[in-house]
Amino acid sequence: MSSIDDLGALVARHVPGVGIHRTALPNVSLALALAPTMPMPTLYKPSVCIVASGSKRVELGKTGYLYDAATFLAVSVDLPVTGAVVDASSNRPFLCLRLDIDVGVLRELVLDGHGAPPAGGTPVGLMRGRTTPELVDASVRLLRLLDAPADAAPLAPLAEREILYRLLTGPTAGMMRHIASVDSHLSQISRAIAWLRDHYRDVFTVEDLARKIGMSPSAFHLHFKAVTTMSPLQFRNALRLQSARRMMVAEGRDAASAGFEVGFQSPSQFSRDYARFFGASPLRDARRLREDPELWVASQP
């Protein structure tokens, strides 16, 4: 059976540089850091992050999650989090595989009878689990397909399916069942988040959004906060601020136009919210990121 060192060697060989990079396998990204990074807000997608070396800490609201070679991180919905690599060096880099979750495959596994029924309540959007030898072995077989592109199309889906099976039959089983269920509260919140990602510039009420996903406003607010630790309007604000930041850094937009573009009507309110969220004024933060490309790359999901 393959080891965590085998996984690390594969990630190191195929990651092109510092940061997070997509691969020829559509659902797979690889990450590399050669030193600890400062905490940076970013957006995590539904995925599982399996670390081969080093460690990283993400914060969702006031709760922190440390994951390393012994512990993977599972993400159930799109979430604005703050992440920082806390253990990495040139001799022992941070190396990580991220697999985006294919909900269709997950549902097939559930329909085939795999995984225990979900417990009551709505699970939080992040969860850790023990990285088992079986999970590592499936991950190694998946990454080895980067060296055999002719085999990737027929075999990668099998390795990805096994990884999801391991998540569905391990400590994250409840979360995975909630993701797979079209009728779960988590699925409803996921649909609300998808709508917010497309319409965060728009003016809307929480009552309007609750009706779109078929929940009462009170239940919607309760379950949305259970999953994301934020209210729907706080979540929208995080999406607006992260989008404005990308505009300023990647497109060279000024703070006033970026803030207006994402939905802020008041430049002063945009500056206050931005400084509170990112820890620096828009001008100072954008200049810092443009002057340090590695810092900008490290902040990307």
pLDDT tens column, 229-265: 889 999 999 999 989 988 998 888 999 999 999 999 9
User: What average pLDDT does the structure give for the chain?
Assistant: 89
Q: Are 5 and 21 in contact (CB under 8 A)?
A: no
Mean pLDDT of 277-299: 77
Residue 177 has pLDDT above 60, yes or no: yes
Query: What residue ranges do the domains of the chain occupy?
Result: 4-180, 185-230, 234-298
Residue 129 has pLDDT above 80, yes or no: yes
- pLDDT at site 190: 87
pLDDT: which is higher, 12 or 285: 12
- pLDDT at site 300: 53
Single-letter code of the amino acid located at 239: L
Residue 117 backbone dihedrals phi, psi, to 5 degrees:
-60, 145
pLDDT: which is higher, 25 or 279: 25
- pLDDT at site 293: 58
Give the span between the Cα atoms of 207 and 220, in whole angstroms: 9
Q: Are 158 and 144 in contact (CB under 8 A)?
A: no
Token match 């994402």: residue? 262
Residue 216 has pLDDT above 90, yes or no: yes
Q: Smallest Cα–Cα separation from 51: which of 72, 65, 78, 30? A: 72
Q: Residues 6 or more apart from 200 whose CB is under 8 A from it?
A: 236, 239, 240, 243, 262, 263
Give the span between the Cα atoms of 112 and 100, in whole angstroms: 21
Rg of the Cα atoms in the chain: 20
Residue 160 has pLDDT above 70, yes or no: yes
Give the CATH fold of the 4-180 domain.
Jelly Rolls (2.60.120)
Token match 């909630």: residue? 178
For strand 40-44 and strand 79-87, is the pairing parallel, antiparallel, or unpaired?
antiparallel
- pLDDT at site 170: 85
Single pTM value for the model: 0.84
- What is residue 130's three-state secondary structure? strand
Q: Smallest Cα–Cα separation from 14: which of 95, 68, 135, 100? A: 95
Architecture of the domain delimited by 234-298: Orthogonal Bundle (1.10)
Q: Smallest Cα–Cα separation from 83: which of 47, 46, 44? A: 44
- Between 38-42, 126-130, 202-206, 259-263, the lowest mean confidence (pLDDT) is in 38-42
Q: Are 194 and 79 in contact (CB under 8 A)?
A: no
